[in-house]
């Protein structure tokens, strides 16, 4: 043995191997490995994908801005004096200070408190304090070019009032990237939107556990007892799933009141804790809903890769923005909205239903709870992998059935391509 080998204490990094079954498995280390998490920030959140920033209605006037996140990076969405939207990295081009500290604001310029560099709303550097020094001393070099020292600009595009941005120059335009799933956004966001409120929930689990959840139509009518017991969504109802052509994005829908009797379902329903025809609510007003889109769809859950959800559950409308906060934590920012022309009764109905479908609602709270239980059960992730074969083993199998993990297989397929895993 050579002397170097005898004395070496440097360990080669553990080589991570994806299970050979491919996208029908997700190894548990992918939820807990810090090196994987760091790579996701580069390859996914700064890669060729569009990331949700907010609603155009959140920055309605020239000068309005909103601070938000793309992965771990703070980003400012602005509306300039001409009404154009911009997205800039919230990091001063001088020495890296955070420029905007407020969640929302209105300003003519973005101003860094550290050394007073100020920026136009499109991110261009407008003024650097003491650029020419004082009494012949100090100052920036004569070749200092303001045009080279603006805030980093992201590409920004809006679709039906939802604003997305990307660090990528290559990714196709937003509507093309959304593909067939654009129809699900168009259906809900079909007229001017109005923000009703927010909440943010910290989930003690890896962001991908939450991302999988709204892609997982299989769990919805099983975990969520409210859906099945009170008939908002049952497997026996007319339902379907739409994936975009690339398998990156998906939405599911269910039509309440369209149950078809089947011996199969009757047999399974006996086993479901979520289907109990004997239960009644003392005050059933929370379940009252109006078919405002005129197509009978009581639940539509839409997810775009990697961190956005749009839901219509009865008359509750919301976006959910998933923000990773380290390998074992993430935030979900919920923005509840309605339409600018809603009457007061409709607004009240939407707000009341957040008790079902808000972050602490009787349906949604179960998703966060499951993500946290998964984190505990997966432990350090050194062993095991999830099994994702409901509906079949391929990217196509399962078709448009909700009894399928097809959308999850497609997620892991995209993820592995992006990550080179
Ligand atoms: S860090 Fe912003 S002006 Fe110096
Ligand atoms: Fe769920």
Residues 222 and 144 in one domain: no
List, as ranges, residues with CB under 5 A of the ion ligand 2: 367
Q: How far is the CA of 99 from the centre of ligand 1 (A)?
A: 8
End residue of a domain, out of 98, 124, 159: 159
Pair (270, 371) in one structural domain: yes
Asked if the structure places residue 331 within a domain, the reply is yes
- Does residue 140 sit in the same domain as residue 233? no
120: domain range?
51-159
Average pLDDT over residues 393-405: 95
Domain boundary among 129, 159, 189: 159
Q: How far away, in angstroms, is 371 Cα from ligand 2 center?
A: 10
Q: Which ligand is nearest to the CA of 224?
A: 2
Q: Are residues 144 and 227 in the same domain?
A: no
What pLDDT does residue 15 have? 57
Residue 323 lies in a domain: yes
CB contact at 8 A, 220 and 228: no
**Which ligand 1 atom sits nearest the alpha carbon of residue 99?**
2
Residues 243 and 377 in one domain: yes
Same domain, 221 and 316: yes
Say if residue 257 is in the same domain as residue 142.
no
Residues 235 and 304 placed together within one structural domain of the fold:
yes
Q: 85-99, 252-266, 402-416: which range is least confident on average? A: 252-266
Given 102, 129, 159, the domain boundary residue is 159
Q: How far apart are CA 216 and CA 149, in angstroms?
A: 44
The protein residue whose alpha carbon is closest to atom 3 in ligand 1 is 115
What local confidence, expressed as pLDDT, does residue 265 receive?
67
In a domain, 16, yes or no: no
What is the pLDDT, as a whole number, of residue 275? 64
Min mean pLDDT across 116-125, 277-286, 410-419 is at: 277-286
- Residue 312 lies inside a defined structural domain of this protein: yes
Cα–Cα nearest to 255, from 289, 282, 285, 283? 289
**How many angstroms does the Cα of residue 179 sit away from the middle of ligand 2?**
24
* Residue 29 belongs to a domain: no
Instruction: Inform me whether the pLDDT recorded for 12 exceeds 50.
Output: no
Same domain, 188 and 139: no
Ligand at shortest distance from the CA of 363: 2
Q: What is the CATH number of the domain that holds 204?
A: 3.90.380.10
Residues with CB under 6 A from ligand 1: 92, 94-95, 97, 112, 114-115, 117
| SS3 sequence of the chain | CCHHHHHCCCCCCCCCCCCCCHHHEEEHHHHCCHHHHHHHHHHHHCCCCCEEEEEHHHCCCCCEEEEEEECCEEEEEEECCCCCEEEEECCCCCCCCCCCCCCEEECCCEECCCCCCEECCCCCEEECCCCCCECCECCCCCCCCHHHCCCCEEEEEEECCEEEEECCCCCCCHHHHHHHHHHHHHHHCCCCEEEEEEEEEEECCCHHHHHHHHHCHHHHHHHCHHHHHCCCCCCCCCEEEEECCCCCCEEEEEECCCCCCCHHHHHHHCCCCCCCCCCCCCCHHHHCCCCCCCCCEEEEEEEECCCEEEEEECCEEEEEEEEECCCCCEEEEEEEEEECCCCHHHHHHHHHHHHHHCCCCCCCHHHHHHHHHHHHHHCCCCCCEEECCCCCCCCCCCCCCCCCCHHHHHHHHHHHHHHCC
Of 229 and 143, the structure prediction assigns the larger pLDDT to 143
CATH code, domain with 83: 2.102.10.10
Instruction: Please check whether residue 8 lies inside any domain of the structure.
Output: no
pLDDT at 117: 98
pLDDT digits (tens, 9 = 90+) for 151-192: 999 999 999 999 999 999 999 999 999 999 999 999 999 999
Number of structural domains the chain divides into: 2
Question: Is 27 a domain residue?
Answer: no
Atom of ligand 1 nearest to the CA of 115: 3
Based on the fold, state whether residues 102 and 236 are members of the same structural domain.
Answer: no
The verdict on residue 24 lying in a domain is no
Buried residues in 54-72 as b, exposed as e (16+ CB within 10 A): bbbbbbeeeebbbbbbbbe
**Rounded mean pLDDT of the chain?**
93
Residues 151, 199, single domain; the answer is: no
Q: Which atom of ligand 1 is nearest to the CA of 117?
A: 3
163 CA to centre of ligand 2 in angstroms? 25
**pTM, full prediction:** 0.93
Q: Give pLDDT, residue 24.
A: 98
Cα(98) to ligand 1 centroid in Å equals 8
- The string of pLDDT tens digits covering residues 322-345 is 999 999 999 999 999 999 999 999
Probe residue for ligand 1, chosen from 76, 114, 127 as the CB with the greatest number of ligand atoms within 8 Å? 114
Whether residues 72 and 192 share a domain: the answer is no
């Amino acid at each position: 043995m050579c002397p170097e080998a005898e004395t070496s204490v440097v360990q080669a990094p553990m080589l991570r191997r994806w299970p050979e079954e491919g996208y029908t498995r997700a190894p548990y280390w992918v939820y807990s490995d810090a090196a994987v998490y760091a790579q996701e920030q580069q390859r996914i959140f700064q890669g060729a994908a569009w990331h949700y920033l907010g609603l155009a209605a959140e920055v309605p006037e020239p000068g309005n801005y909103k601070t938000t996140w793309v992965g771990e990076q703070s980003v400012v969405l602005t509306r300039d004096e001409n009404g154009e939207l911009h997205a800039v990295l919230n990091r001063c081009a001088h020495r890296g200070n955070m420029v905007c500290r407020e969640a929302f604001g209105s300003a003519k310029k973005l101003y860094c408190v550290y050394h007073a560099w100020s920026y136009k709303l499109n991110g261009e550097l407008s003024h650097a304090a003491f650029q020419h020094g004082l009494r012949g001393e100090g100052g920036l070099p004569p070749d200092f070019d303001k045009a080279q020292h603006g805030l980093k600009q992201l590409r920004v595009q809006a679709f039906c009032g939802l604003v997305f941005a990307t660090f990528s120059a290559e990714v196709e335009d937003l509507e093309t990237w959304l593909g067939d799933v654009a129809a699900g956004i168009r259906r809900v966001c079909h007229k001017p939107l109005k923000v009703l409120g927010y909440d943010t929930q910290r989930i003690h689990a890896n962001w991908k556990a939450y991302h999988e959840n709204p892609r997982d139509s299989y769990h919805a009518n099983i975990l969520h007892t409210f859906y099945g017991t009170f008939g908002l969504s049952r497997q026996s109802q007319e339902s379907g799933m739409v994936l975009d052509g690339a398998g990156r994005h998906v939405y599911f829908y269910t039509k309440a009141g369209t149950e078809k009797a089947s011996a199969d379902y009757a047999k399974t329903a006996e086993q479901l804790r979520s289907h109990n025809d004997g239960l009644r609510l003392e005050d059933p007003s929370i379940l009252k809903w109006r078919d405002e889109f005129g197509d009978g769809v009581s639940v539509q859950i839409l997810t775009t890769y990697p961190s956005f959800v749009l839901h219509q559950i009865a008359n509750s409308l919301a976006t959910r923005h998933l923000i990773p906060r380290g390998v074992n934590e993430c935030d979900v920012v919920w923005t509840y909205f309605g339409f600018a022309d809603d009457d007061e009764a409709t607004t009240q109905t939407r707000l009341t239903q957040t008790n079902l479908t808000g972050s602490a609602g009787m349906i949604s709270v179960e998703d966060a709870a499951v993500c946290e239980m998964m984190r505990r059960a997966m432990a350090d992730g050194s062993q095991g992998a999830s099994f994702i074969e409901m509906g079949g083993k391929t990217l196509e199998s399962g078709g448009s059935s909700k009894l399928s993990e097809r959308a999850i297989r497609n997620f892991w397929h995209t993820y592995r391509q992006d990550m080179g895993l």
